Amino acid sequence: MSKVKLGIVGLGGIAQVVHLPTLSKMDDVEITAVCDSELSKARNIASKYGVKRYYKDADKMLDENPELSAVIIATQTNMHKDIAKICLEADKDVLIEKPIARNYKEAKSIVDTAKRKNRKIMVAMNNRFRNDMMMQRTFIKAKEIGEIFYVKTGWIKPQSSDQKWIVQKDKSGGGVFLDNGIVMLDLGMWIMGFPEIKSVTASNYSHNTSSVEDSSIAVIKFKNSSVLTIEVSWSLLRDGELFYCNVYGKEGSSSINPFKIFKRMEGNLYNITPKKLVLPSNIFKKSYEYELKHFVNAVKGEINLISTGEDALKVMEAVDAIYSSAKKDREIIFK
């Protein structure tokens, strides 16, 4: 079996907890090189996973490893655009940890480069690969609950990282919305089939932060009259984490956490959730494994990518409007 040769740039939490342990166990993958701005970290991680080459500079990694098929980018967000573009210019496929960039302009620059170079680009939206989310979307695409008119999503949890750049707007691009809100926005728009946006209204709050928001509430109206709401926070005063994606159609509804499907039949509402449904004990961890396997198989040309750069542009257009609405305290109308 020929192996996909991968490079990883950015060796923070997500690379150490997810990418490296998962990829190192895959028979069709070779982690050829790793790269981090801290050379000592790159050296130690390379030694731990048996990676022969480690670098501080991504350009040098690309120059000295022309055999690389693809690169995973897991740096802080302000570095995504430049690193993605040099990888694409070097004819490598790219997986970028979310968000793709700090704003739509940066995202478009990346996607345009990928198109010009005819390279694959995937944004790491691992929640699309949750077993329950995939099943929910399957039911929805099969029209089991009828035409969708309302999706209500939310993710309330502690800050994902304690690294300082997460709350520095010039580096992260934003706060909790670019951390967690973009995930729920992506899921909602994906489930709805990416309808055209009509307007966006949002409110952001900074109760425990200064340059970025730690709570955000957004309402997106689409031209087909459907609505998506998103609530995310690092700081809402409640017990425990809350992750949900509730979908309402004209003939039924679906929810995540727990996974449920209800359908109206002959005037009555029935629970049609599969009774023998077995979900992984760690559904979040599994979603990352499925995501990475999907990317590798796409690099091999065996499947078509999902969570593409084109999807990311549609999401980032909404993200820019959400921040604009919150800043201007008014509804943003799309032309």
- What does the domain layout of the chain look like in residue ranges? 4-127+289-303, 129-282+314-333
Q: Do domains 4-127+289-303 and 129-282+314-333 have the same CATH topology?
A: no
* Neighbouring-strand partners of residue 229: 152, 219
Q: What's the CATH architecture for 4-127+289-303?
A: 3-Layer(aba) Sandwich (3.40)
Distance CA 92, CA 33 (A): 14
Q: 34-44 pLDDT, tens per residue? A: 999 999 999 99
Query: What CATH topology corresponds to 129-282+314-333?
Result: Dihydrodipicolinate Reductase; domain 2 (3.30.360)
Does the CA dihedral 153-159-163-167 come out positive or negative? positive
Q: In the sheet that 260-265 helps form, which strands lie side by side, from edge to edge?
A: 268-271, 260-265, 252-255, 242-249, 148-156, 227-233, 215-222, 197-205, 332-333
Distance CA 331, CA 219 (A): 9
Q: 128-168 pLDDT, tens per residue? A: 999 999 999 999 999 999 999 999 999 999 887 778 999 99
Kindly indicate the confidence band of residue 1, based on its pLDDT and cuts at 50, 70 and 90: low
Query: According to the model, what pLDDT value does residue 161 have?
Result: 77
The two three-digit tokens of residue 235, written as one number: 């700081």
Q: Which residue has the higher pLDDT, 257 or 93?
A: 93
Q: What is the per-residue DSSP string for 240-261?
A: S-EEEEEEEETTEEEETTTTEE
Kindly indicate the confidence band of residue 184, based on its pLDDT and cuts at 50, 70 and 90: very high
